[in-house]
Structure 1
Amino acid sequence: MDTNNVILSYHESLLRKSDVELLKGPCWLNDTVISFYFEYLEINKFKSDPMLLFVPPQVTQCIKVSPSNEIGIFLDPLNSHNKDFIFFALNDNEQTECSGGSHWSLLVFSYPERAVYHYDSSRGSNQHQAYEFANKLFKFYGMIRHGNYNEPDCLQQTNGYDCGVHVLCNTENIANYALIKRRIEGCPTLDRHNVSSKRNEILDLIHILRRNSMNNK
């Protein structure tokens, strides 16, 4: 099968065979896979809570490389001012012309707590970028003088390619906690089993969504 063959069309996401193959590992996840799962969480798993927002990695990258006074171009269409918890998959790519990079981490903005939480499975790797990104958010949401930046302890990856998987697991874990507690502070850390089983879990999900799509045609 050609690697460009479409495996699943899901709302705004288009997964090709080459994207799905990344989930079989050991491979670094690209922005297409992360964007798909973020979309699934927002549309399916957490659809009952309109206060959660999962920002596509491509949009996060645009925010990261744009001046602070221009990020409303990307956040306003997402109705972000009316969200309590906003999830960003942060990449260390500094290029504006193309996707890429070598490391993912998760940044969560909590409006109720006036805080940003940065979860990095390779502690320190994205710290500078996360801090700069957080300051843009504080300025945009009018919290420049009283926004709190936090680097909570989180499960650390044991290889050089599972950072994206950690981002997806942390996102789901924190969203579940925020749904109940209405805060991020105090969220328990991941169990390593959550990470080790996530790739197969997403592969099974893609299979189910693809089968359902074909049955509905």
Structure 2
Amino acid sequence: MILEYGDVIIDKEDFDLLEEGQWLNDTIIQFYYEYLELQVHKNNPHVEFLRPSIVHLVTNTQDPTSLQSALPKDLAKKNIVFLPINDSDGTTNSISGSHWSLLVFYRPTNSFYYYDSLGRYNLSAAKLTKDKFAPLLVPRLLNKFEQVSHFAQVETPIQVNGYDCGCYTIAITEILADRLTGAITSELTLKPGDLSLFRLKSLLTPVAVAQKRWAIKDMILGLADLARKKSLMARHR
């Protein structure tokens, strides 16, 4: 084990996936979501970072309302909900797909927004995830005749290789968590199409996304070193 952080344990096998050319697994994405929740947005009442395993479970469950007890109790009150999605077919107990993308629910517009660094690759999975989470995020949608008002695919920077989709998912989450929270706290009214105006293409260059790997790697090593020092201090008291 390299690091235990929040509810996630990072082993060497997980850590090695941060090397260039490797596809990030759900453990690394969960770690970063834990970091955003526990550190960057720890006092933010508006945002929820749902873990990949929970998203996968709900998406592949026939009756998602049966899983409400496993979800954050105030999920239906959160203004911004991040849902990392995978193209897994749901036939196994683990996430077994080959591509990550992001679905974001933004309550002020009652809408889901789809971000995919391979265009429409995960569109079917995104729509299925939206259908399963809609009655959990907006309880009135339990009435099957009501629908979420908007589902939009947002123009997303396209990855230049076959392995950086997880890095794009993490980086887009980080940017949107800040900007959407800012819109809410400043009482800025956004229309559904306004979420396309955040200039992700200019912010997420291939170089910037590649650097995210090294930043996460350094973060894990730094947290692991800090945990070791705390453990040593505790032993010598």
Q: TM-score by structure 1 length?
A: 0.91
Equivalent AA in structure 2 for residue 92 of structure 1: D
Partner of 1:40: 35
Once the two structures are superposed, residues 123-171 of structure 1 have per-residue CA deviations (whole angstroms, 9 ceiling, x without a partner) of 1110011112112223331344342101010111011111001100010
Equivalent AA in structure 1 for residue 115 of structure 2: Y
Partner of 1:158: 160
Partner of 1:82: 77
Partner of 1:3: none
Once the two structures are superposed, residues 73-130 of structure 1 have per-residue CA deviations (whole angstroms, 9 ceiling, x without a partner) of 3664342012110101101111242321100000111111100011000011100111
Equivalent AA in structure 1 for residue 173 of structure 2: T
Gaps of 5+ in 1: 1-5
More moved, 70-79 vs 16-25: 70-79
Equivalent AA in structure 2 for residue 108 of structure 1: V
Structure 1 residues 102 and 71, CA, compared in 2 at 3 Å: closer, same or farther? Answer: farther
Q: Aligned equivalents of 2:100 and 2:148: distance in 1?
A: 27
Query: Counterparts in 2 of 1:136-215, with a 5 A limit?
Result: 136-140=132-136, 141=138, 142-143=140-141, 144-182=146-184, 185=195, 186-189=197-200, 190-192=203-205, 193-215=207-229
Structure 1 residues 30 and 71, CA, compared in 2 at 3 Å: closer, same or farther? Answer: farther
Once the two structures are superposed, residues 26-50 of structure 1 have per-residue CA deviations (whole angstroms, 9 ceiling, x without a partner) of 1000001110110000110111212
8 Å Cα contact 2:65-2:135 kept in structure 1: no
Q: Aligned equivalents of 1:11 and 1:69: distance in 2?
A: 25
Once the two structures are superposed, residues 159-200 of structure 1 have per-residue CA deviations (whole angstroms, 9 ceiling, x without a partner) of 111100110001001111112112672322132133121000
More moved, 131-140 vs 54-63: 131-140
The one of 131, 137, 147 aligned to 1:135:
131
Partner of 1:112: 108
Equivalent AA in structure 2 for residue 126 of structure 1: N
Equivalent AA in structure 2 for residue 188 of structure 1: R
Equivalent AA in structure 2 for residue 70 of structure 1: T
CA RMSD of aligned residues (A): 1.7
More moved, 12-21 vs 143-152: 143-152
Secondary structure of residue in 1 paired with 2:2: strand
Rg larger for: 2
Q: Percent identity?
A: 30
Equivalent AA in structure 1 for residue 175 of structure 2: N
Gaps of 5+ in 2: 185-189, 232-237
More helix, by proportion: 2
Task: Work out whether 1:99 is the aligned partner of 2:101.
Answer: no
Q: TM-score by structure 2 length?
A: 0.84
Q: How many residues align?
A: 212
